[in-house]
Chain A
Amino acid sequence: MSFLASTAAQVVELAAEAEVDPADAKATAGASSAGFAYGLAAIGPGIGIGYLVGQAVQAMARQPESAGQVQTTMFLGIAFTEALALIGFVVFILLKFA
């Protein structure tokens, strides 16, 4: 976060030197920071879903008779993990558009 804040501050300073409206520069820096944050927020769930599905597929291959239960648990696990990405998305839209 400090990296993003320092980058935003640098952008505002450069804009001031280049005679660009600081408000525009700040909005631009805010937009890019929000995009960074959303992208970073999507990485964790991606890793989590990959691990979860890998283990579920392994379980279904090892114990086909319990495939139904495994698939139910896998679906719910994917949906819960995806909630993290959705929270990142909502924070992004709140920061950017609210």
Chain B
Amino acid sequence: MSETSPPVDRLEGPSPAAEVALDIAKRGLPVLPVGMIIGAIFAELPGALSVAFGMALVIVNLLLSAALLNWASKISFAMVASAALGGYAMRLGLIFVAFWLVKDMSWVAIVPLGITIIITHLGLLAWELRHVSASMAHPGLKPKQSRKGPRPVAAGRR
């Protein structure tokens, strides 16, 4: 009679989501000055500052999402589902609050801010997806191994 493996309900080890989010943030930093220059061309100083604010909003949003998933995956898979959906609603609310707090300030230009949020979010994700896809399809091409140790492993109930 074959043994059944213990039920798996959580993960241990470093979260790949956190690695991906940090990677996205690192890619966003060199793009920031370029975006600010483009914003300044179209809307002067408010444009540049709004682009910086929009990019910061997107990067913080992704980092927060990864942190929530990382925290939840250490607890249980059910918590991952809760953190994903609850985090989605919470982060949308936080973005709205962040926008609401600055919308009347003199340095905010609404149109560059809105355009920056969409372009930065999609652009950074597409850039990261290209890197991740190459790593998955051809693991040997991955630039370097993670310094944080091995990939996460499943863990059974205690």
- Whether the Cβ atoms of A61 and B111 lie closer than 8 Å is no
Taken together as a complex, chains A and B put the C-alpha atoms of A15 and B80 apart, in Å, by 48
Stretch of A1-9, A21-29, A72-80 that contacts chain B: A72-80
Select A72's contact among B20, B78, B114, beta carbons within 8 Å: B20
Least distance between B25 CB and chain A CB atoms (Å): 13
Closest to A52 in B: B84
Taken together as a complex, chains A and B put the C-alpha atoms of A82 and B152 apart, in Å, by 25
Least distance between B82 CB and chain A CB atoms (Å): 9
Taken together as a complex, chains A and B put the C-alpha atoms of A42 and B88 apart, in Å, by 10
**Interfacial chain A residues near B117, Cβ < 8 Å:** 86, 89-90
Least distance between A70 CB and chain B CB atoms (Å): 9
Identify the A interface with B (CB < 8 A).
Answer: 42, 45-46, 49-50, 52-54, 56-57, 60-61, 64-65, 67-69, 71-72, 74-76, 78-80, 82-83, 85-87, 89-90, 93-94, 97-98
A-B contact pairs, 13 of them (CB 8 A): A56-B80, A57-B78, A61-B8, A71-B11, A71-B16, A71-B152, A79-B65, A80-B122, A86-B95, A89-B117, A93-B113, A94-B110, A98-B110
- Whether the Cβ atoms of A57 and B80 lie closer than 8 Å is yes
**Interfacial chain B residues near A53, Cβ < 8 Å:** 80-81, 84-85
- Whether the Cβ atoms of B80 and A90 lie closer than 8 Å is no
Q: Is the interface of A mostly helix, strand, loop or mixed?
A: helix
Taken together as a complex, chains A and B put the C-alpha atoms of A87 and B118 apart, in Å, by 6
**Interfacial chain A residues near B75, Cβ < 8 Å:** none
Taken together as a complex, chains A and B put the C-alpha atoms of A92 and B29 apart, in Å, by 27
**Interfacial chain A residues near B81, Cβ < 8 Å:** 50, 53-54, 57
- Whether the Cβ atoms of B111 and A68 lie closer than 8 Å is no
- Whether the Cβ atoms of A76 and B154 lie closer than 8 Å is no
Least distance between A49 CB and chain B CB atoms (Å): 5
- Whether the Cβ atoms of B20 and A89 lie closer than 8 Å is no
Least distance between B103 CB and chain A CB atoms (Å): 6
Least distance between A78 CB and chain B CB atoms (Å): 6
**Interfacial chain A residues near B115, Cβ < 8 Å:** 90
Closest to B11 in A: A67
Closest to B95 in A: A89
Interface residues of B in 71-101 (CB under 8 A from A): 73, 77-78, 80-81, 84-85, 88-89, 91-92, 95-96, 99
